[in-house]
Amino acid sequence: MIAQLLQRLLVLLLRFLAVWLLVALVVEIAMTGPRVRGEAVGGQTMEIVRELATGNLPTDLVAVVSGEATGVSWLAALGKSTLASFTVCAFAILVMLSFGPVFGVLAGRYRRHPWFEAMLSPLLAAAWLPGFWIASLAVWWQVEHWGMPGFADGEAATGGPMRIEWLWRTSLVALPVALVAIGWQVRFIAGTLRRSAGATHVLAAYSRGMGGGRLFYRHVFRNSLYPLIRSIDRSLPAMLGMQLLVEWAFRYPGLGTLVIESARSSQFAGLLSGGLLISTLLVVAHWVGETTATFLPQRASAI
Amino acid sequence: MPTVHQNRRRPKMRQMLQQLWHALMVGWDLYLFAFGYGIVFVLLGIAAISLSGHSMSTSAMSDGPGWTAPNAVHWFGTSRDGIDMMGPVLHAAGRSIWLALLATVGGSLAGLAVATLFFFVWRERGYRMLDRLAGWGAAIPAIFMVLTLAAGHGAGFGVTLLILSGLCALFVAGRSGRWFHELESSGDVLAARALGYSRRRLLIDHLFTRLWKHAAASAATLLPGVLLAEAALGFTGIGAQVSPAANRIGMLIAEGNETLFDAPWLVFFPGLVLWILCVVLATFAWAVRRTLGEAIDERLF
Amino acid sequence: MPPILSVNDLTVTYPDRGEASVVATREVSFHLEPGEILGIVGGVGSGKTTLIRTLSGLLPREARFFSGSATLDPGAEGEIDLIQMRSRHWRRLRRHRLAVFFREVISQWNPLRTVRQHVRETLQLAGRKREARIEADWMPVFYEVGLIEPENLLGRYPHQLPEVVLLRFLIGMALLKGADLWIADEFTSGLDATSEDQILRLLRELAEKRRIAVLLGTPRFGVIERVADRVAVLFEGGVVESGAVLDVLRRPKNRFTRALLDCQPRLGERRHRLTEIDPSARRDAIDTTRGVGE
């Protein structure tokens, strides 16, 4: 078992190398290629978006990205924004896991009832919501109700005295991300269950007089547990990609703001470090999922 | 009678626990229902209570300096300059769709072309490499890749198109490598190879005749995702053109964000149109897959 | 002897996207007595599987009964109409009296559950809670179906056992729950010749000894010849010819049956090309099933 674990660690190391090289390659190509316009990206639009009504950009991040800061280091800014992004991501995953599997399993269970699909349809349609648009609407709704625009202050990330408020704000960034992820997850889980409900052994159990919940949970659900567990990390890249945009739309001081602001002002350091961090996070998540699956019963992986 | 036949008596506690577990298993969906819809109703209740306190604020929907709120004449409201928003929104949606469509079709063809190249040169090794490359591409979120590439190369419609289709090509190349691999080991292709077909004839007669269905279904499935990615790119202001300032739907939303609290309809309607488009395209993709016989009988997909 | 199953003029159709509907079985009639094995022979698309699925209540939802009846225990007091029956009653029937065998043996077993769990589940469903607990009671039945040291096999997972052993376990499970109507659809198709022969012998033996009625669908006359009492030949959903096995095999009345029998390979015979069924024989068969000929 230790040998197996060591082997997996080696694989992880190799993957890190491969993905880091890939990120570096992408950033290098982006930075060294011919420019259509010599100036910074986005032209006039950039100036407009900086002064959005949804709050100002986090001051220290802007200072770092634009190179105006003297006291703040890249490393500190990176650490702070990673922590903030990580919190949002954790919230989003928590919300996704508390809704997605429930409705996914129900959709698989009541696959023959058209009314249930009709009840689910808003949730399924959420898979196609533009996250940044929902973020904008949420901000508008917030200001209408408690007069606080945006999440621009540094306190949002560090916590400070008002922990409940910090929690509330972070979760509001996470909700648009989670909403979309729930849509995807429900579709995926329901699809997997429907597919495994068509297996002959399920029909055979049915022909022995089994039916209803017992047939579903004992033969269909339990048999598709393995692919379901393996697929939890699959939606992460899309989720994280969306989070970048939503964070920026909210002016949340996370990795998203850092990366997009760096992209908009063609900052090599911000792009590279942000990309490396994101890819590291994803590779680690994938590795954890894979390692967990290795320790599942062997016959489960034989399906 | 041999001892193996003897039934060992279970402790009573364990039996009771087992019975309890069976009871729980049978009533499982009831709990799921209660939990899932319970949370939804609680959230709806909270929203309703908080909404009832402050009905629609008057400051938000009042007419500002140059604009009017949505009414019977201007369904989508008007912009700062007093222009009816329906025209610009639909125009921007059209442009976004064209861009997404071009990127998807171009990217799919490019991906197929790459896989076809490997059909002649490296075969198995090439397919595996494509598959792995596409897999590792997923380790970097697509939106980050698009942002970085588009940002580094500066603004412009063409660059956006090129990069979106490049991303599409990456996905399709990985997939089509897998299709080629599957088809090459299928019975009729093996038989044709045994009959001495050349690679070129094999490709034209046996592979392409079946591959186009996969490719069309996959392109239809990709389209709404590409549309969303395109809108996201527009939202960050990358790939903007100077003369018509906001000609894509993401940019309209970004511009509307400036006046979010005074004229929320400038954000609401472009986003709504984009969402409806995506849902319609996803449904259309399902219909296409079903017509081509690619769907696995699931209505959810 | 009163029949256990009686089917009269059964017609089942599949709607084909709202326009023309596909007739899967066309006015099929037969009856089945306890202890009797009825073979249903037909090629692909002959309506064999639809017929079997109709009688085991496993038809897809879009299928429609057009006309006819299928009755269990006809004439008896508790006569059961299989066509009009509610799903609740179907479930009771499947738990106690009906045993269905599908095409591939291995795919009928849940890969994550042991053989013991399958057997216990079947007995629990049949309402035999006590027998489900006492494994010693199962053993005589498993010895009867020809299993060697079944107690050592019970803890295995399906993929660890050969198909013929799994099939013997399936037959044993059907015996344990006391099913008296067995419906099988090409259930020996995955086996080698020796195992198939053993299983068919076993089936013959059990049917006689336990008075079990068996409906056996197969595309091969060879299987029917070895095991069945009577045979019905199906073509395009309709019965071309039916009767005692020896009558039909030795003196086929219909040209289609004769052509089908000619297609069978025989020992010591050398053919330079495959035999084809004459188109006129097909037309003959269609006329017969639609009531034009004879």
Domain ranges of chain B: 99-301
pLDDT computed for residue B65 by the predictor: 66
Chain A residues lying within 8 Å of B289, measured CB to CB = none
SS (H, E, C) chain A: CHHHHHHHHHHHHHHHHHHHHHHHHHHHHHHHCCCCCCCCCCCHHHHHHHCCCCCCCCHHHHHHHHCCCCCCCHHHHHHHHHHHHHHHHHHHHHHHHHHHHHHHHHHHHCCCCHHHHHHHHHHHHHHHCCHHHHHHHHHHHHHHHHCCCCCCCCHHHHCCCCHHHHHHHHHHHHHHHHHHHHHHHHHHHHHHHHHHHCCHHHHHHHHCCCCHHHHHHHHHHHHHHHHHHHCHHHHHHHHHHHHHHHHHHHCCCCHHHHHHHHHHCCCHHHHHHHHHHHHHHHHHHHHHHHHHHHCCCHHHHCC
User: Contact A99/B39, CB-based, under 8 Å?
Assistant: yes
The pLDDT tens digits for B103-140 are 999 999 999 998 888 888 888 888 888 888 877 777 78
Q: For residue range A72-100, what is the model confidence (pLDDT) as tens digits?
A: 677 777 888 888 888 888 888 888 888 88
| Residue bearing the bigger pLDDT, A261 or A157 | A261
B99-301 CATH choice from 1.20.1250.20, 1.10.1200.10, 1.20.1260.10, 1.10.3720.10 = 1.10.3720.10
Partners of residue B24 in chain A, C-beta under 8 Å: none
- Give pLDDT, residue B45: 74
Domain ranges of chain C: 5-97+180-289
Residue of chain B nearest A283, judged by CA positions? B139
| Closest partner CB to B282 (pick from A30, A128, A214) | A128
- Which has the minimum average pLDDT: A109-118, B242-251, C153-162, C226-235? B242-251
What does the DSSP 8-state code read for residue C147? Answer: -
Give me the mean pLDDT over the A167-174 stretch: 73
What's the pLDDT at A302?
47
> Chain B closest CA to A98's CA: distance in Å?
8
Q: What is C5-97+180-289's CATH number? A: 3.40.50.300
Flag whether pLDDT at A40 surpasses 50.
no
Report which of residues B113 and B7 the model is more confident about.
B113
Lowest-confidence pick of B3-7, B107-111, B278-282: B3-7
| Chain C residue closest in CA terms to B15 | C133
Sign of the four-CA dihedral C69, C73, C77, C80: negative
Write down the pLDDT at residue C291.
63
* pLDDT tops 60 at residue B242: no
Both tokens of B55, joined, read 């009905």
Please state the ipTM of this predicted complex: 0.87
- Whether residue A51 has pLDDT greater than 60: no
Q: How many CB atoms lie within 10 A of CB A300?
A: 16
Measure CB to CB from residue A36 to each of B60, B155, B264 and give the nearest one.
Answer: B155
Binning pLDDT at 50, 70 and 90, where does residue A152 land?
very low
CB contact under 8 A, C110 and A223: yes
Q: B: neighbours with 3+ CB pairs under 8 Å?
A: A, C
- Average pLDDT of chain B? 76
* CB distance A160 to A167 below 8 Å: no
> Which one is predicted more confidently, A301 or B204?
B204
Q: Amino acid identity, residue C128?
A: R
Q: Is residue A118 predicted with pLDDT exceeding 80?
A: no
**Cα–Cα distances in Å, from C252 out to C28, C142, C280?**
19, 39, 16
Cβ contacts of A260 on chain B, cutoff 8 Å: 147, 236
CB-nearest to A303 from C98, C102, C111 is C111
pLDDT interval class at B33 (50, 70, 90): low
Can you give the pLDDT at residue A96? Answer: 87
User: Which has the minimum average pLDDT: B30-44, B138-152, B195-209, C159-173?
Assistant: B30-44
Average pLDDT over residues A211-221: 85
Do the strands C80-81 and C98-101 form a parallel or antiparallel pair, or are they unpaired? unpaired
Distance from CA of B101 to the nearest CA of A (A): 17
Task: Quote the pLDDT of residue B55.
Answer: 44
Chain C contacts of B1, Cβ < 8 Å? 136
pLDDT score at C213: 93
Count residue pairs from B and C with Cβ separation < 8 A.
13
| Closest alpha carbon to B239 in B173, B163, B187 | B163
Least confident range from A223-227, A290-294, C85-89: namely: A290-294
Q: Give the DSSP H/E element, type plus range, for residue C213.
A: strand C213-218
- The tens place of each residue's pLDDT in chain C, 294 residues long, gives 788 888 888 888 877 655 566 777 888 888 899 989 999 988 777 888 888 888 888 887 777 777 888 888 888 777 888 888 887 888 889 999 999 998 888 889 998 889 999 999 999 999 888 888 888 888 999 999 999 898 899 989 998 899 999 999 999 999 999 899 999 988 888 888 899 999 999 999 999 999 999 999 988 888 888 888 999 988 887 888 888 888 888 888 887 888 888 777 777 777 777 677 777 777 777 777 766 544
| % of chain B at pLDDT higher than 90 | 4
Question: Which chain C residue is nearest to residue B7, measuring alpha carbons?
Answer: C134
Residue A96, judged by CB atoms within 10 A of its CB (0-12, 13-18, 19+), counts as buried
CB-based burial label for A163 (10 Å; 0-12, 13-18, 19+): exposed
Q: Under an 8 A CB cutoff, do B5 and C133 touch? A: no
pLDDT of residue A56: 54
